[in-house]
Every structure is written in structure tokens, then in C-alpha cells.
Amino acid sequence: MRPIPDAPLRLGTRRSPLALAQATEARVRLCAAHGWPEEAVSLVPLAASGDKIQDRPLAEIGGKALWTKELDARLLAGEIDFAVHSAKDVETFRPAEIAIAAMLPRGDVRDVLVGAASVAALPRGARVGTSAPRRAAQLLHARPDCEVVPFRGNVATRLAKLAAGEADATFLAAAGLDRLGESAVGHRLDPLDWLPAPGQAAILIECRADDRESLGLLAAIDCPATTAAVKAERALLAALGGNCHSPVAVLTTSAGDELHLRAALFSPDGAARIGGEARFAIADAEGPSRLAAELLARADPLIASHFTGVTA
């Protein structure tokens, strides 16, 4: 049990309902781990650029940095002590001054389809709302007759757009629905058939890389299994050399000291797909890179042109 801080520690978060739910979970876990009252950690909600700009896909206006840059600036300025993010929203390459200090136990990695019981059950020509390149490419690969329509906003906004008839169906993350108390919404897709996004369902907490006190505090709530899996997924992304327009899907499972990565790359229009898998020891830092090289070596030019990784 650590002494209660003289002043509340400041936990930065985006203002969306889901972000606040994730930050609250982080605060509860941190205070429980150290025997503190919840008042020992205060939430500092900030508006992210990604929340402010809702009319265009993120890939067109700055990518994942739109979710992190405001929190990064406050963190580096010493205005907050740590920051909470959805792992899938954090850029593959982070500033050297910022460290990923902990990941909480991962939630349900599956995607949820709202508007039909399955992708196969979508009506012919259905308009499906999503602004995620992975979801769009997977949909068009499975159902080229469908039409993808841009769909951004938080969970409530997207469900409202769906109810208003702006699309016939949409995708949401199961973990986000669970954290908002909306577990009954939609139909959860088999993750072996519909691979999730890298980092999906994981909550990531960062602090300044030179802040040893915060690094020590956050280590107490780190989930090693989640950290190993998400680090492998982020290493795969790094080795692929993709960007916000590069559709990548991945599912990681573990058994003992071994990880099993299943991954698929798509062309943005879904016309081409390449899949592969690899098993390697958690301690094998090169395992994800080998899978990336193998995928790129077999990739159709329609896919390879969207990645800059080195082929085998």
C-alpha cells in the first residue's frame, strides 16, 4: 500500500462517454491496487480533434494522432500525470518522451454488427455505415454488393444515425458496448471469420518516459497477457509499414508462453485479401516481423502498394 498522494494525481482522458468509462475503470483499478480512495486520482477530460471533426474519415484529416495529440501535449507539459487511450486509437510510433506504462485486462475483441444478424444476412445492396478502412475492406471483400457510407461519431451518435436511416447497418466494438452497459446491442461476429482491429478492446495508459514514480504506480495495474498481445499487434503494424488507409485485421490468442497471431491484409476496396498466421514465444520480439514479411511477400500488388514494409 502506497501513501495517498498529497494532491490528486491527474488522469487525462477524452470527453466521450466511452473514454470517460475507460478512464473511470483505470482510476478504480489504480486506487484499488494502492489502497487509495478514488479521490486520490482526478479525471481531466479534454476535447480531442477527432471528437471535434465528425464529417470526414480520420484517415483524410490526420489519422490516429487526432485522438492523442491534445493529451500528449498536456502530458509533456506536466499538466496531467497520465493519459488513458483505447489502444487501437494510438499511433504505432509514439514520441520517445512518452511511455506505454500499463494495459488493463482486454475486453471482448469482437466487432458487433447492428442492423442484421450476420454479414451474410445483410440485404443485397445494403448501405453499411463505417469510416474504418479495415471494416470497409472486410465488408466489401465478403459482400462486394454492399455500399459503404461514411459513419463517424460516438456510439450513441452512430446508433442515432442508423435509426435515422442514414445506413441499413453499422459496426461497433463489443468492448465499447460492454463498457457503456449496452451489451445487448447488435450481433457479435465470430472473430475467426471477422478479424478485429489491432489493439481492439484494450485500454492503454501512458505517462512521461522519465516519470519513474508514475511508471511504478501504473505497473501495479498492468495485465501482462494483454500487454504481450497488444505489443505483438503493434509490432506487426510497425513491420508492415501501413498507414491509416491500410486495412489490417488481426486476432491474437495465447497459450502459456506462446502467442498465436492470425492476420489479414486487404486492398481498400476489398477486392484482394491475404491472410496468414504465426506462433512464437512471447519473448520472441521478431515473431510479428516475420509474419509481416511473409504476408507482404505473398501480397497482391493491390495490397502491397498500401504498405511500406520490407518483403522477405
CA distances from 257 to 204, 270, 282 (A): 22, 35, 6
Tell whether the torsion through CA atoms of 237, 214, 20 and 117 is positive or negative.
positive
Which of the following is catalytic: 89, 111, 211, 222?
89
- Secondary structure of 52-111 in the HEC alphabet? HCCCCCHHHHCCCHHHHHHHHHHHHCCCCCEEEEEHHHCCCCCCCCEEEEEECCCCCCCE
Tell whether the torsion through CA atoms of 158, 159, 163 and 168 is positive or negative.
positive
DSSP state string for 259-286: EEEEEEEE-TTSS-EEEEEEEEETT-TT
Q: Are the C-beta atoms of residues 98 and 204 closer than 8 Å to each other?
A: no
Assess whether 89 carries a catalytic annotation. yes
For the chain, give the longest Cα–Cα distance. 61
Residues marked as catalytic: 89
